[in-house]
DNA sequence: CCCGCTTATCTTGTATACCTGTTCTGGCGT
DNA sequence: ACGCCAGAACAGGTATACAAGATAAGCGGG
């Protein structure tokens, strides 16, 4: 039973982190009671947390059926990347300079990313690779867009899972490091270019695989899953039910 | 008693619209029971709606005291404008072209804005002037950023109210119309410039008034209010209480 | 043996009850 | 008369109860 400051905001945060860490497949179902049991609280809190995530577009609710991790469509995924490029490149181009403190923070973050490779922790790695972008936005002084980026990085992760457009983690890390180096040099325009390229390599891959038809979907779904259960609170979610219209709420 | 599809998303939407229409001052208090009475539902729904708004950063909750329309600080206001410029200019620069249908939609929106001037409806006017930016983002094919812009336009309105940085509505409208004309000509880069200028005139004004000290705050507060009560659901909110630490949630 | 219908169970949707912290008000003391 | 303290009223925080819809299981007919 996961504890510690059980407000609905905490629960939402926890779920968001897990999402960013890639612990839930798109389309996974979140049962209110299961989550309540896991977090040791009542359904009320869970519902509030899920409502928060819903408002941020990370989960959908299908009436009387449950909450489902969003299944980003290909078009939406393109939009996500477009949005990220606009925001992240925009922030870099808009910034005047990077404070020494921010540079230190970024260095520390890079170090954490690096460390996550030695420890074999795919979840943490995924989380940090996404979180870097949020951290960068914060360091550049725009916490509003940083917050938006949190949602977008999560959706990126989900889109990547869905379309299996894996970007090599090592490569991502190297590009992150490169960006930070450029920032140390103070060349924000160059950093913006590097960021644009960094994001570009993602969606190129994303657009490569052919459109997903129901046959390939089936074939893929029926592949044996040799991946073991991953983590504590992964266990509480049943895999997605047959699927039904789920409405996305504000 | 306001009715019609009383889901929490609807209520949140309604509140957001009212916020964008400038019907609530920053710092206004939303009483759960009052809202429940107004919407003819239970506190549960109201809480859910407010939770949604809270997740989008439009209201804060002060524990055991209530929900308050966010009071954007000057620094946050600057961030809002920076974010808007990054997003809106970015979208325009990123777009390839504008579809005829989108142009029609924009024309229609301009027409509605124009109409709102003849009818003397300040709320509707404020709403439409903000909504135009959202509409534009949607027309340019990025509904994700359009959604983010909804929050940002609301915060812009709130910041403007707080710092009394009124931008002349007629001027805003003219600039909107100009932008749409440029889009008709197909010059997206020029449109981006126009948008940048459009947003620029706002925050210039915003930065002009000096920092607000408690004395001027009092003097201002004690001015006689000759403005009559505006609309139905404005009546349900008590003016802000003395103020206390309100924490902003995710 | 398979398909369709009915019934049971499970899960969410919504309201409400109760608890707790905050604010307001009245009384007391200085 | 002012300020402080205590009690009451009020509002939000949380859990729970009950209703309604959806899924799954069981049963009967073709």
Same domain, A22 and A124: no
The phi, psi pair for B68, rounded to 5°, reads -130, 135
**Which residues from chain B sit within 8 angstroms of residue A13, using beta carbons?**
250
pLDDT of residue A166: 73
Q: With an 8 Å Cβ cutoff, is A12 touching chain B?
A: yes
Q: Are residues B8 and B38 in the same domain?
A: yes
Burial class of residue B11, CB neighbours in 10 A (0-12, 13-18, 19+): buried
Strand C and B157 CB separated by under 7 Å: no
Q: Do A133 and A175 sit in the same domain of this protein?
A: yes
pLDDT of residue B238: 38
What pLDDT sits at residue A83? 98
A196 interfacial to chain B (CB closer than 8 Å): no
User: Given a cut of 50, is residue B222 above it in pLDDT?
Assistant: no
A-interface mutation test, from B86, B143, B203, most A Cβ less than 10 A away: B86
CA B191 from chain centre, in angstroms, equals 22
Establish whether the CB of B47 is closer than 7 Å to any nucleic acid atom in strand D: yes
Structural domain total, chain B:
2
Looking at residue A35, its pLDDT comes to 95
In a domain, residue A246? The reply is: no
* Residues B65 and B119 reside in one and the same domain: no
DSSP codes joined into one string, chain A: ---SS--HHHHHHHHHHHHHTT-S-TT-EE-HHHHHHHHTS-HHHHHHHHHHHHHTTSEEEETTTEEEE----HHHHHHHHHHHHHHHHHHHHH-----HHHHHHHHHHHHHHHHHHHTT-HHHHHHHHHHHHHHHHHHTT-HHHHHHHHHHHHHHHHHHHHHT-PPPHHHHHHHHHHHHHHHHHT-HHHHHHHHHHHHHHHHHHHHSSPP--HHHHHHHHTS---PPP--GGGTT-PPPPS----BPP-
The Cα–Cα gap between B59 and B26 comes to 9
The reply to whether residue B82 touches residue A9, judged by beta carbons under 8 angstroms, is no
CATH number of the domain residue A187 falls in: 1.20.120.530
A145 in contact with B at a CB cutoff of 8 Å? yes
pLDDT tens-digit series, residues A196-205 = 999 998 766 6
CATH classification of the domain holding A46: 1.10.10.10
Q: Residue A79 and residue B54: Cβ atoms within 8 Å?
A: no
Judge whether B166 lies within some domain: yes
Cβ contact (<8 Å) for B86 and A145?
yes
B198–chain A Cβ distance below 8 A for any pair: no
- Please check whether residue B171 lies inside any domain of the structure: yes
Q: From the alpha carbon of B64, which nucleotide's C1' atom is closest?
A: D12
Whether residue A215 is contained in a domain is answered as no
Shared-domain flag, residues B154 and B80 = yes
Question: Residues A153, A83: one domain?
Answer: yes
Residue A242 CA, nucleotide C3 C1', distance (Å): 20
Judged by CB atoms closer than 8 Å, whether chains meet at B90 and A91 is answered as no
CA distance A192 to chain B (A): 13
Q: Are both A129 and A145 inside the same structural domain?
A: yes
What integer best gives the mean pLDDT of chain B? 85
Looking at the structure, do residues A78 and A189 belong to the same domain, yes or no? yes
Question: Is residue A243 one of the residues assigned to a domain?
Answer: no
Output the CA torsion sign for A164, A165, A171, A176: negative
Decide if B55 and A55 are in contact by the 8 Å CB cutoff: yes
- Quickly count: other Cβ atoms within 10 Å of residue A243's Cβ: 11
Q: What is the pLDDT of residues B43-96, one digit of tens each?
A: 999 999 999 999 999 999 999 999 999 999 988 999 999 999 999 999 999 999
Burial A60-94 (b: 16+ CB within 10 A, else e): bbeeeebbbbbbbeeebbbbbbbbbbbbbbbbbbb
Residue B225 has pLDDT above 70, yes or no: no
pLDDT tens-place string over residues B156-178: 999 999 887 777 899 999 999 99
Answer yes or no: is pLDDT of B7 > 50: yes
> Measured between beta carbons, which residues in chain B are less than 8 angstroms from residue A94?
82, 85-86
Q: Which residues of B touch A90 (CB under 8 A)?
A: 86-87, 89-90
Name every chain B residue with its beta carbon within 8 A of the beta carbon of A9: 249-250
Distance A41 CA to D17 C1' (A): 17
Q: How far is the CA of B232 from the C1' of D9 (A)?
A: 27
Structural tokens at position A102: 């921010």
Whether residues B55 and A52 touch (CB distance < 8 A) is answered with yes
Domain boundary among B25, B42, B71: B71
Residue A107: both structure tokens together: 């260095």
Give the pLDDT score at B206. Answer: 64
Among B9, B40, B71, residue at a domain's last position: B71
- CB contact under 8 Å between A52 and B52, yes or no, is yes
Asked if A7 CB < 7 A from strand D, the reply is: yes
CA distances to A108, B59, B63 from B249, rounded to whole Å, are: 26, 9, 11
Domain boundary among A191, A207, A223: A207
In 10 A of CB A154, how many CB atoms? 28
Distance between CA B228 and CA A239 in Å, rounded? Answer: 56
CA distance A64 to A112: 42
Residue nearest to nucleotide D14 (CA to C1'): A44
pLDDT of residue B215: 47
Residues A51 and A108 in one domain: no
User: How many residue pairs from chains A and B have C-beta atoms closer than 8 A?
Assistant: 95
Q: Token pair of A59, please?
A: 């989960």
Across-strand partners of A30? A67
C-alpha to C-alpha distances, B104 to B177, B183, B243, nearest whole angstrom: 13, 11, 46
Cα–Cα distance for residue pair A11/A31, rounded to 1 Å = 14
C-alpha distances out from residue A152 to A155, B157, B225, Å: 5, 25, 44
Which stretches in chain A have pLDDT values below 70? Answer: 1, 3-5, 203-250
Restricting to A residues 104-143, those with a Cβ less than 8 Å away from any Cβ of B are 141-143
Contact A108, A120 (CB under 8 A): no
A222, part of any domain: no
Please indicate, yes or no, whether residues B150 and B186 belong to a single structural domain of this protein: yes
The secondary element (H helix, E strand) that includes residue B139 is helix B122-139
Residue A157 covered by a domain: yes
A-chain CB neighbours of B82 within 8 Å are 94, 142
Both tokens assigned to A121: 């922790």
Q: Which residues of A touch B76 (CB under 8 A)?
A: 144
Is B223 within a domain? no
Q: Does A53 lie in the same domain as A19?
A: yes
Query: What is the Rg, in whole angstroms, of the alpha carbon atoms belonging to chain A?
Result: 19
Distance CA A61, CA A11 (A): 17
Identify the helix (H) or strand (E) that includes residue B243.
none
Q: 3-state SS string over A39-108?
A: HCCCHHHHHHHHHHHHHCCCEEEECCCEEEECCCCHHHHHHHHHHHHHHHHHHHHHCCCCCHHHHHHHHH
- B69: Cβ under 7 Å from strand D? no
Q: Give me the domain span that covers residue B187.
A: 74-207
Residue A59's DSSP bridge partners are A69
- Rounded Cα–Cα distance for residues A117 and B100 (Å): 50
* Distance of residue A101 Cα from the nearest chain B Cα, in angstroms: 19
Pairing of strands B29-30, A59-62: unpaired
Q: Do residues B153 and B187 share a domain? A: yes
b/e map A4-42, b = 16+ CB within 10 Å: eebbbbbbbbbbbbbbbbbbbebbbbbbbebbbebbebe
pLDDT at B213 over 60: no
**B52 to A54: CB separation less than 8 angstroms, yes or no:** yes
Round and report the angstrom distance from CA (A28) to C1' (D19). Answer: 27
Phi first, then psi, for residue A58 (nearest 5°) are: -100, -25
Sheet holding B29-30, edge to edge: B29-30, B66-69, B59-62
Q: How far apart are CA B150 and CA B136, in angstroms?
A: 11
């Amino acid at each position: 039973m996961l504890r510690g400051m059980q407000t609905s905001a905490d629960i939402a945060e926890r779920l968001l982190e897990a999402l960013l860490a890639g612990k839930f497949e798109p389309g996974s179902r979140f049962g209110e009671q299961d989550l309540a049991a896991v977090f040791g609280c009542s359904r009320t809190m869970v519902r509030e947390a899920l409502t928060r995530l819903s408002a941020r577009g990370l989960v959908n609710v299908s009436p009387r059926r449950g909450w489902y991790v969003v299944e980003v469509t290909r078009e939406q995924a393109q939009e996500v990347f477009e949005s990220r490029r606009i925001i992240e490149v925009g922030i870099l181009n808009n910034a005047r300079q990077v404070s020494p403190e921010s540079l230190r923070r970024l260095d520390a973050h890079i170090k954490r990313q690096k460390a996550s490779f030695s420890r074999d922790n795919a979840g943490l790695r995924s989380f940090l690779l996404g979180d870097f972008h949020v951290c960068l936005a914060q360091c550049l002084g725009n916490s509003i867009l940083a917050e938006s980026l949190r949602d977008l990085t999560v959706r990126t992760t989900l889109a990547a899972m869905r379309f299996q457009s894996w970007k090599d983690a090592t490569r991502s890390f190297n590009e992150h490091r490169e960006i930070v180096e450029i920032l140390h040099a103070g060349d924000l325009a160059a950093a913006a270019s590097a960021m644009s390229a960094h994001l570009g390599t993602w969606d190129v891959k994303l657009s490569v695989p052919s459109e997903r038809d129901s046959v390939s979907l089936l074939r893929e779904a029926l592949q044996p899953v040799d991946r073991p259960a991953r983590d504590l609170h992964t266990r509480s979610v049943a895999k997605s039910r047959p699927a039904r219209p789920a409405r996305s709420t504000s």
